[in-house]
Structure 1
Amino acid sequence: MIVTLVVICEVGFWVLLAAGLALRYLAKMPRLGAAVLLCEPLLEVVLLVVTAIDLKNGAAPDWKHGLAAVYIGFTVALGHHTIKWVDARVAHRFAGGPPPVKPPKYGTARMVHEWRTAIRWIVAAVVAIGLLQAAIWYVGGDGDVGSLRMWQQKMLFAIGINVIIAGSYTLFPKKAPVAERERVRVER
């Protein structure tokens, strides 16, 4: 049941996003579109409540409960950014908005971009770890919480990967090709 609900929440996220943006840009109803987009967090609340009820009713904590916590963590930390990213592209395509800003390719600007991305993923992992820990405490010492601890380890691994990627852009910044550096130097 929990896995089905996670899938329903993911599909619901994209359906609400499409509906909200369609109302905003195609139907020219920006307030109603914004209201639909504001319903997105309700999906995570439903998933959290159902997962807690499932555990309260005696379900053995397993990978499905961990998946629910991870999904909620990632949606909390990355959902808003995803909505903004899609919104910019839909506004450009259907409402004459400016072209979406592309991420920087080189130097310090790229490093800052990578750290911002890493921080979003780290926040997602930390939220998931917190929810998993809350589930572990909720179940108590009587239940087998090994699968929840396994998810916590995976989230620590995700944090490490993101730090390594962002750190690599700090230690080894990507440089513009020589021709582009010359063009920028001449323009100044």
Structure 2
Amino acid sequence: MADRMIVSRSALAGVAVQGALGAATSNPGVHIREVTDFAALAVIARRGRATDVAAVLSRHAGSPVVDASKRAGASNISVTGTAPGQWLALCRGSDAAARLDALRNDLNGLAAATDQGDGRVVLEITGSRARDALAKGISIDLDAIAFKVGDAAQTSTSYVGLQIALIDEAPTFEIISARSTAESLWSWLVASAAEYGIAVA
């Protein structure tokens, strides 16, 4: 009997195809990229240990992690507060799984840590019209004055729950959602951004 190999596929494989979508333009207003080389860990602090957990997360992220709806970290690892005493750690790159294992080991006894990588879709949305496109369905205020770099929120659009954070002032937004709703999220995003022209990386 022939051996069968299980091949990992991204949440939007065959859907988020590289190229141009929407209005024809030489300067697309919205750029979308699916992040595929990542590992994710949901972290829930044990009773009375939130401060200790935040300290461990800060050490791994390389910047202060707080118990609030904020995103901290660098390009290869980030930590976002999702609820009181709860965070989502996201590692990127070829060694993402190894770095996440190291984090899990350091959290032993302090928090419950559950692998979430295969159950999430991660998108980066940037461009001069990114805010306009996202504002069509996301009800929170994404204006530069109200939603700043490092801010994060749990919200929804088109009946799809998601986590949104602002990574930089470009602006670049990070959206994380359940893998099961990835295609619905993609359909909404493309429809919302179409009039500005879309570049899919």
TM-score range, shorter chain: under 0.3
Report the TM-score, using the length of structure 2 for normalisation. Answer: 0.23
Report which of the two has the higher share of helix.
Answer: 1
Report which of the two has the higher share of strand.
Answer: 2
Of structures 1 and 2, the one with the larger relative CO (CA 8 A, separation 6+) is: 2
